[in-house]
């Protein structure tokens, strides 16, 4: 990580210790459009029809990027829907990445299902991988695994690509296969494991299933598989109710109808009581000054390509 990056993050962290509520990460859900209908998708299971306006314009996005940069955010993360499919009056997703970099964000990333096109201007790309071929495609749709792997091998992206797996009923027994797939793919830096955060509820895991999965992941990490969850972050994945502990201000959100949230848009909903997002644990640890988590996370997620 560049020295300038480190100083910027250090400044944020010291401010945070003294009670500053400046955000570190700006997460932008830029639209709900998607070419897939994954079984566990919280966005599609919530019924986007009832959510009002479903896309942010170029100006809304760039205004938000500037506003949150002014408040202190230095990491911008684009989400959807499928962010790579976003377009607005001649602008495409690559223009959003460029705008974020031009504004000064140190680290720009996005999560993608990997079936469309990789935009290579970002620092980090997170690809969703929910199992070996058959299981991934049972969850994400036929042909998705092969298309994702084809796009990963074809890209000349020079930043860090990591896999994001969401553990749920269908893939709970396939953790090691995914860890092996990632370890054997030279373009993938590692995998971060999450539990499904309901909705949908019918494929959520029991507490016992989660504890067994965490034990399995800990063993794999110990054996040297590229598990990106920090050691302490993994332990905290077993704690389900984050409604009182969520480190809300670390990340701010904008959603497609233009609403801003200081913290998770799901806060104070029943989902908080079964939160499975690994990032929430890592943000919590970073905010509390866990040196090991800060160094584990920053080497992958906070570095810029330059």
Ligand X SMILES: C[S@@+](CC[C@H](N)C(=O)[O-])C[C@H]1O[C@@H](n2cnc3c(N)ncnc32)[C@H](O)[C@@H]1O
The residues of the shown chain that bind ligand X, judged by CB under 6 A, are 34, 40-43, 79-80, 82, 111-113, 128, 164, 166, 194, 196-197, 276
CB of 79 to ligand SF4, least distance (A): 8
Write the CA distances from 168 to 81, 120, 130, 222, 301, integer angstroms: 20, 30, 9, 23, 24
Alpha carbon distance 175, 177 (integer Å):
6
Residue number with CB closer to ligand X (39 or 249): 39
Q: Is 82 in the site for ligand SF4 (CB under 6 A)?
A: yes
Q: Is 85 in the site for ligand SF4 (CB under 6 A)?
A: no
3-state SS class at 293: helix
Selection from ligand SF4, ligand X, none that 79 binds (CB < 5 to 8 A by kind) is ligand X
H-state helical runs in 72-205: 93-103, 133-140, 144-154, 175-184
Selection from ligand X, ligand SF4, none that 112 binds (CB < 5 to 8 A by kind) is ligand X
According to DSSP, residue 218 is labeled: H
Residue number with CB closer to ligand X (40 or 281): 40
The pair of structure tokens assigned to 187 is 């373009």
CB of 256 to ligand X, least distance (A): 12
Alpha carbon distance 168, 170 (integer Å):
6
Residue number with CB closer to ligand X (6 or 177): 177
According to DSSP, residue 25 is labeled: E
- Residue entry with tokens 């290579």: 120
The footprint of ligand SF4 on residues 122-141 (CB under 6 A) is none
What is the CB-side half-sphere exposure of residue 69 using CA atoms within 13 A? 18
Alpha carbon distance 258, 61 (integer Å):
9
CB of 305 to ligand SF4, least distance (A): 25
Selection from ligand SF4, ligand X, none that 72 binds (CB < 5 to 8 A by kind) is none
CB of 175 to ligand SF4, least distance (A): 19
Q: Is 38 in the site for ligand SF4 (CB under 6 A)?
A: yes
Q: Is 80 in the site for ligand SF4 (CB under 6 A)?
A: yes
- Strand runs (DSSP E) across 145-303, as ranges? 160-167, 188-195, 251-254, 260-262
Q: Is 37 in the site for ligand SF4 (CB under 6 A)?
A: yes
Q: Which of 44, 98, 133, 187 binds ligand SF4 (CB under 6 A)?
A: 44
**With CB under 6 A as the contact rule, which of the stretches 31-39, 68-76, 145-153, 176-184 interacts with ligand SF4?**
31-39
The pair of structure tokens assigned to 215 is 């034990």
Residue number with CB closer to ligand X (35 or 180): 35
Q: Is 41 in the site for ligand SF4 (CB under 6 A)?
A: yes
| Helix orientation angle between 291-301 and 3-17, rounded to the nearest 10 degrees | 140
Q: Do the Cβ atoms of 77 and 28 come closer than 8 Å?
A: yes
Residue number with CB closer to ligand X (34 or 252): 34
3-state SS class at 214: helix
Q: Is 34 in the site for ligand SF4 (CB under 6 A)?
A: yes
Q: Binding residues for ligand SF4, per CB under 6 A?
A: 34, 36-38, 41, 43-44, 80-82, 113
């Amino acid at each position: 990580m560049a020295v300038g990056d480190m100083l910027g993050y250090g400044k944020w962290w010291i401010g945070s210790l003294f009670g500053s509520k400046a955000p570190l990460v700006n997460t932008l859900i830029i639209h709900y459009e998607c070419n897939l209908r994954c079984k566990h998708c919280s966005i599609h299971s919530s019924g986007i029809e009832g959510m009002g306006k479903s896309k942010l314009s170029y100006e809304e996005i760039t205004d938000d990027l500037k506003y949150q940069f002014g408040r202190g955010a230095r990491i911008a993360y684009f989400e959807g829907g499928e962010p790579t499919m976003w377009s607005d009056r001649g602008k495409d997703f690559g223009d959003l990445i460029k705008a974020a970099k031009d504004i000064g964000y140190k680290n720009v990333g996005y999560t993608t299902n990997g079936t469309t096109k990789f935009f290579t201007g970002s620092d980090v790309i997170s690809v969703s991988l929910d199992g070996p071929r058959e299981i991934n495609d049972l969850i994400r749709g036929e042909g998705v695994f092969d298309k994702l792997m084809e796009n990963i091998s074809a890209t000349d992206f020079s930043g860090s690509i990591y896999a994001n797996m969401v553990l749920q009923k269908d893939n709970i027994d396939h953790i090691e296969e995914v860890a092996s797939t990632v370890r054997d793919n030279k373009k993938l830096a590692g995998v971060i494991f999450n539990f499904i955060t309901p909705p949908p509820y019918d494929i959520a895991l029991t507490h016992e299933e989660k504890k067994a999965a965490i034990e399995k992941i800990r063993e794999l990490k110990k054996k040297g598989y590229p598990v990106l969850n920090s050691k302490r972050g993994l332990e905290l994945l077993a704690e389900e109710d984050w409604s009182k502990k969520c480190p809300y201000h670390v990340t701010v959100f904008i959603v497609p109808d233009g609403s801003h949230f200081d913290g998770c848009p799901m806060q104070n909903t029943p989902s908080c009581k079964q939160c499975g997002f690994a990032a929430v644990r890592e943000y919590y640890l970073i905010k509390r000054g866990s040196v090991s988590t800060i160094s584990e996370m920053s080497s992958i997620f906070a570095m810029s390509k330059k």
